[in-house]
Amino acid sequence: MAEHHPVSENKHKSQLNSAASVSGNGRSSAAETERVGTGAGGLSGGLSQPAGWQSLLSFTILFLAWLAGFSSRLFAVIRFESIIHEFDPWFNYRATHHLTTKGFYEFLNWFDERAWYPLGRIVGGTVYPGLMLTAGLIHYVLNLLHVTVHIRDVCVFLAPVFSGLTSISTFLLTRELWNQGAGLLAACFIAIVPGYISRSVAGSFDNEGIAIFALQFTYYLWVKSVKTGSVFWAIGCCLSYFYMVSAWGGYVFIINLIPLHVFVLLLMQRFSKRVYIAYSTFYIVGLVLSMQIPFVGFQPIRTSEHMAAAGVFVLMQVYAFLLYLKDRLTRQEFQTLFFLGVSVAAGVVFLSVIYLTYTGYIAPWSGRFYSLWDTGYAKIHIPIIASVSEHQPTTWVSFFFDLHILVCTFPAGLWFCIKNINDERVFVALYAISAVYFAGVMVRLMLTLTPVVCMLSAVAFSSVFEHYLGDDMKRQSPPAEDSGDEDDRKNAGNLYDKVRGQPQSLMLIGLISYSQKHFYSDDSVQFSLFLKRQIRTSRLEDLHTVNTTGQARGRIHQASLRTKRGRKTAKLSRKITCSAAAETIQL
């Protein structure tokens, strides 16, 4: 009998595991799939499982998206020949040719007497060198591998190749914002959307050909750093931002959108340690790296376009310091100090920027950027900017020609993201709203609108397909889960989104709210984190509210005896059950 007991116990455990895999969120089944696939061994063992086929299908779709994007941009080469066209690409090609033949330092100090004739041009200090360095590096690597290719051919096919990288970066970003299916749809959309093809065809050797990849990849790493609170991902975001600064002047869009995201998170009371770590690392390291580009120089600390990032950085430091004082002050003292501190910090930053701009230490908005806010400014004061065709306001026809059916599905995807809001979906909502405005003001900025339209349209299609074509037993709405870990004790709002649709977890929410409202010791903080872990790891089937409440009451009672409030806190802990029930009813 003793020998048969482990067998029955193992059978019982296997039945419980199988039931958990059906009722859970799929993690147990995924782990079981990985275990079985590893045990089977070989390619056939991996492909016999759903996870193996899913990975193979995702890789195949991304490869076909890259191939479709590359092929759709070869019309000029197939019809004519491999040649650079347009004016700016020809200058970029000459600069790249000089870089590959003379070297990097000669390129930085090159005085081109043929450009800006008869004055000439100091090339190293007047261009964004990222495009030339990228083409020159690819040419160097190919020749190192004994693949003989002319630098002209590298320049011609650089933009079509980078269109595939843009598809992959868009897939990664959309997958972080929604799910993998939406990411695959977004990758397919951006590979063939006309608004991006028009600026990345073969032979168009211009900055935009590589800048959209850098833009999307920087946003992906930013979202990743906000979700994880990891310095590793934040440093990766800084390096990608550095590449974007070296490639295109549109990096100003990044350095204003990311601070706007952090500022809105502060207003929504979604601030956390993750956001603090991500933005502090991004601003400091990104600021230093961006100043290494000769054409940029000291602009990040001397121009008005970059002052919003500095102001949000200072405001965030003050906000974090006030939250640090929260546990050491009474509620009334903290509220008074909080509103006073935030108001004074915002006022000091605003007045400092005005004073430094008035005295000349900070340059005002340039004409091109000022025309984004005042559409009639360029016509009156800077006619040469208004005379450029790509600086004209966008017509309604251009939206439909550049985006096609995505114009209709884009608002639906934005609505889905706002309906299931979390930290990273706040970012994509701000990205969409700001890009729509700027694209309407200037037709050239349709290029920055195209990626977010592809992403949100993919979200809309993915949600509709999942609702109408998915299995009824597995159908569920995308979770608006909090993207953080256990460092969100300052932001209880995200936790409520986490347990939406689980009525039996409301008692735990009431306990957390009560403990955060009345206890200010480290023990109560640890208890709040304990309850949050209970909610994150619990299932609707095996959550026993009564037992958890009894354990919670004992933990709070023991914690209260170690606080400075002593007997007063102990009396409050005896009322925990009634107060938690009352707050549960309010929720």
Q: What is the pLDDT of residues 339-381, one digit of tens each?
A: 888 788 888 888 888 888 888 787 777 666 667 777 777 677 7
Tokens representing residue 333 in the block: 């003292």
CB 496 within 8 A of CB 508: no
Q: What is the pLDDT of residue 66?
A: 92
Residue 129 has a pLDDT of 92
Written as one string, the DSSP assignment of 412-472 is: HHHHHHHHT--HHHHHHHHHHHHHHHHHHH-GGGHHHHHHHHHHHHHHHHHHHHHHHHS-T
Report the residue count for the chain.
587
Q: For position 261, what pLDDT does the model report?
A: 94
3-state secondary structure of 297: coil
pLDDT tens sequence across 508-560: 555 555 455 444 444 555 555 655 555 555 443 344 444 444 455 555 555 54
Estimate the share of the chain in helix, then strand, then coil, as percent rounded to the nearest 5.
75, 0, 25
Residue 488 has pLDDT above 50, yes or no: no
Contact 95, 214 (CB under 8 A): no
Q: Is the peptide bond before 259 cis (omega within 30 degrees of 0)?
A: no
Between 299 and 384, where is the model more confident? 299
Asked whether residue 307 carries a pLDDT value surpassing 50, the answer given is yes
Nearest Cα to Cα of residue 539 among 512, 511, 505, 508: 505
CA angle 159, 399, 67 (to 5 degrees): 30
Rg, the chain, Cα only? 28
Among 28, 48, 66, which Cα is nearest to 164's? 66
pTM above 0.85? no
- Give the model confidence (pLDDT) of 9-32 as tens digits: 444 444 444 444 434 433 344 444
Which of residues 454 and 18 earns the better pLDDT score? Answer: 454
Q: Given this model, what pLDDT does residue 191 score?
A: 93
Asked whether residue 505 carries a pLDDT value surpassing 90, the answer given is no
Question: In angstroms, how far is CA 581 from the centroid of its own chain?
Answer: 38
Predicted local confidence at residue 339, as pLDDT: 81
Is the predicted pLDDT of residue 276 greater than 90, yes or no? yes
Lowest-confidence range among 187-196, 204-213, 337-346, 371-380?
371-380
What local confidence, expressed as pLDDT, does residue 387 receive?
A: 75
Torsions phi, psi for 133 (to 5 deg): -70, -35
Q: Which residues touch 149 (CB under 8 Å, ≥6 apart)?
A: 139, 142, 143
Cβ 462 vs Cβ 474: under 8 Å: no
Of 389 and 356, more confident: 356
pLDDT of residue 346: 81
Contacts of 486 (CB under 8 A, 6+ apart): 529, 532, 533
**What is the pLDDT at residue 354?**
84
Q: Which residue has the tokens 């190192």?
A: 144
pLDDT band at 330 (very low <50, low <70, confident <90, very high): confident
